[in-house]
A and B are shown apart, each in its own frame.
Chain A
Amino acid sequence: MKTAFWLAGATVLALAQPAVAGDTIKIGFVSTFSGPTAVIGNDMRNSFELALDHLGRKMGGKPVEVIYEDDGQKPDVGKQKTEKLVQSDKVDFIAGYIWSNVLLASLKTAVDSQTFLISANAGPSQLAGELCSPYVFSTSWQNDQTPQAMGVYMNQKGVKSVFLIGPNYAAGKDMLAGVKSTFKGEVVGEEYTVWPSQLDFSAELTKAKNSKAESIFVFYPGAAGVQFLNQYAQAGIKAQIPLYTAFTVDELSLPLQKDNAIGIPGAQEWVNDLPNAENKKFVEDYRKKYPGLRPTYYGAQAYDAAQLINSAVIAVKGDTSKKDAMKAEMEKANFKSLRGPFKYGNNHIPIQNFYLQDVVKDADGQLSLKTVATIVKDDQDRFHDKCPMK
């Protein structure tokens, strides 16, 4: 009994032994792993783990250690977790970040300590403009880009007027500003809802219906997107006013939105059926490794983040103290992105295509997303001029 106790103690000690600096590549990953939006964080973690599997769990010949931290969708918690990763774990890279407000709160900590931060989702306008940094890269987009593409599509469809609805936080404001910047018709109304607590949109839907707008545009990520589509359909507005979206219908929300999502177009930089070889492998292996689940754009971006980090580590042969060399390598975007064409602008935000996606029934009779058209090619965000990096 006593021996067993000592053995157990020794094992715990051995496990707790911190890796000697330089022997492993340490990556911190901040995302949401608790609460209603934990499904998004799980998808990002699954995809990041899959990327590591594909890399043989090594980068530049060194083993990789990932420390996942839960931000609980709260900016203050995200900042604390970022501080912990930078100061006590001394990670080489931090990746993740779903929410723009969480990223903005955490940004300074990473930049001040000169730790590379790879945003795998959040893309607040400040990050692309005045707050851009040599140490920050994005594998997603700037928030405005996706709704801008939607605005372009609405022009193509000849839509004359729109009513905008979105959540009242950093990304919500960017999204509505984005669609307004490209949409040529009239913006009849603009409503912001309390985020993330407001889940009943009856007042906003009634206003939209009575505004006589020809269309509605919304941005509601996660479960809020399910609720919005439910209420939109129940109010009978679906038959009257067509809906255009950004980040509202994805593989996580679709099983809950079901038929409510049919016929609702969305803009996206990645869709599961993009025809390049890397993407096919990603989607196939993801569904094999996590039965019953399907990857989302959140996951695809996290996968790209791992590939980007890998490219930097290989370039310096695992010596992560060579920050300038790693930065120079990452600026080249020397990896095969799942979305195909991908390069960086001066502000480290991708220049990329945006696609129109639609909901269809696939071969298994399940609802899934499908690429219909390319809306814009090689799109660069509209804040890159404000970034002092040239």
Chain B
Amino acid sequence: MSQTQAQTHGADNGKPQFYLTEDHHPEGSTMLGFWLYLMSDCLIFAVLFATHGVLGRNYAAGPSPADLFDLPLVALNTAMLLFSSITYGFAMLQMERGAKIETLFWLGVTGVFGAAFLSLELYEFNHLIHEGAGPTRSAFLSSFFTLVGTHGLHVTFGIIWLITLMVQVGRHGLIEANKRRLMCLSMFWHFLDVVWIGVFSFVYLMGVLG
């Protein structure tokens, strides 16, 4: 650390520098690669959003969003995902400090909020299907279940990943590889929250608005 600092400072030589003198290649390209994966995932969701935008008003004489959606439940769901985002942030801050137990604690809290989100969503799906508003009822419901279900599936895999990483951190501690993995999951988790903003604005609120 001190060597690298001495080198960069030596290049300064007291003169002000207005540009980077060294061509910097990031050592680990994992973060960039994972970001590119997220962007491709973003395209999947864009296509599903477009499908819902096209089919979202085709009720086939069936129930409309205003009949079906329970906005307080959706608001609670949104709160769960938002809380899980901030607690994951706390986990990342503890990871930077190198505090293993605290990191595991906040990861656990994140997992609980994520599981609460999933249970509420499954409850909603179950309720809709029992009311006869399953994915086969109308084009609107097909596209709704596909879009929201794909998001839910992502959250499910995020939770599996989270538990795996908790076991890894518990066994091997906050080693460099585990930090890298935690940072990837952090991006994944916050990205899912970003997609959910689109879901509750575009699907639920705009749907109920009619």
A binds B: no
Which residues from chain A sit less than 8 Å from chain B, CB to CB?
A: none
Q: Taking beta carbons and an 8 Å cutoff, which residues of B are in contact with A?
A: none
